[in-house]
Amino acid sequence: MAKAGANQGYGGKATLARAKALMAKAPLIDGHNDLPWVIRQRTGPKGDVAGYDLRKLHNDGDTDIPRLKKGLVAGQVFAAFIPSDIPHPGRATLEQLDIIRRIGETYPETFVPVLRASDMAKARRARKIGMIMSVEGGVGLENSLSPLRVWHAMGARLMTLCHNGTLDWCDSATDVARHDGLTAFGRAVVAELNRLGMIIDCAHVSAKVMHDVLDASTAPIVFSHSNARALCPHPRNVPDDVIDRVPDNGGLVMATFIPAFLNPAIEAWQKPLRDKGGQGFGPDWEAMVATHAAEHGPCPKADLGDVATHIEYIAGRIGAEHLGIGSDFYGGPVTPTGLEDVSRFPYLIAELMHRGWSDRALVGLLGGNFMRVLKAAETEGTKLRRKVAPLLGTIRDFDGPEANY
C-alpha cells in the first residue's frame, strides 16, 4: 500500500494549503465518532459532559472542540454506542443519546443539532458544527419496534443495525451467524427506519445482512465506518459483491481509520485475539494486545496512505460519488500514523489531491455525498409516512412465539 511520509505522500505545505482552502468552502461531515462512550467511561457520574470539558485539549484522546475546529470539521455524527452485552441496553441507549443531546446544550456556541438536511446549511451560516445523532447497535431495541420512534423523536437520524455481537434478528460480521441474515423482525426494523427517514447503516453486519438490507431498503444506506475487504480481509470490511451493489441503491461506503481494517498485516496479527473473544475495544482488549505483543512482537502499523488507498480502490469500483469518510475516532486505542486525531482530516484530503483527485470528487467525499443520502432518506420517510402506518409489535409478532423476548 502507498505510504505517506514527511517529504512526500500528502504533497507538502502547498497541497495542504489547497486542501484547507477547499474544506473552508466544502463541508467535511465525519460519519462516525465514539466520543459519547468516552464521556460515559471517563467522568464521575456517567455522562458528565460539562465535567469532561470539551473546550480543552484532551491529550489522552483524539476529539475535542479545539481540534475539531482545527480539522475543519463541519458536521459530526456522534454515535450512541453501547456494547452488545451491556445490561439494560434500552436504558443505556437512551443514556447515550442524552449525552449527545447534552453536548449540544453544553456547548451551543460550537454545535447545532441536525434534524433535517437543511440544518447543515444553517450550521454553516452560523459557523458552527452540525451535530448528527446516531444509534450504534440495535440491541437497545430489546426486540421491539417502538424504541425506534423514541430514538427518532430524540433526534437520531442514523442507526447501525448491530455491533460486534449477533442479535436475535441480525447477524454480526464479528460473531457467529444464527439467522442467515435478517429475520422477519429485522426486515421490519429496516422498513420502519425507512418510514422514519433514518439512514440505515450496515457497518458491523454480516455480508448476508448487507445483501438483505440492499434488497429491502427503499432509501440509500451507508456503511458508516468500513473499508474494502479485498484490500484487508477483516470481516468488518465490505466485500466487493456488496460494494458493487451500492450505486444501484444510491448509498455510500464511508472509509474508516481503524488500523485493523486498513492493513492486512495488522488484521493477521490481531486475528488470534478476536478468535479468543476479543472485541477490539476497551481495557480487556488493550490487555490482550499487550500480552500478545510481548509474545509475538509489536503490532504492525497503518498510516494515512493506507486510508487513501482504500478510498481509491472503492472509487475505482463504484465511483467517487458513493464514498464518504467515517473516521471512527475513539473506536480503538490506536490510530493510523498521520491521522492521530480530528485535527488531521486536511492531511487526508491533501494526500488525495496529491494522488490527482479533482476538487469535484473531493467535495462529494468530504460531505456532499452524505448530504445527498441524508436528504434522500428524509424525503423517502416523508413520502412513506403519508401512506404507511407505524409498524408495531415485538420480535414474536414477526418471528413467531419461539423468538426471544
The residues assigned a catalytic role are 32, 34, 136, 163, 204, 225, 328
Distance CA 64, CA 394 (A): 39
Give me the amino acid identity at 347. Answer: Y
Distance CA 2, CA 17 (A): 22
User: Is the separation of the CB atoms in 325 and 348 below 8 Å?
Assistant: yes
Contacts of residue 269, Cβ cutoff 8 Å, sequence gap at least 6: 292, 296, 299, 300
Distance CA 307, CA 283 (A): 26
Counting Cα atoms < 13 Å in the Cβ hemisphere of 242 gives 28
User: Is the separation of the CB atoms in 367 and 123 below 8 Å?
Assistant: no
> Which of 319, 337, 314, 340 has the alpha carbon at shortest distance from 329?
340
The residues facing 98 across adjacent strands are none
Cα–Cα distance list, 7 to 3, 10, 16, 301, 354 (Å): 11, 8, 12, 19, 12
* Helices H / strands E in the chain, number of each: 18, 9
- Helices within 126-168 (DSSP H only): 146-154
For 249, phi then psi, to 5°, come to -80, -25
Contacts of residue 214, Cβ cutoff 8 Å, sequence gap at least 6: 221, 242, 245, 246, 249
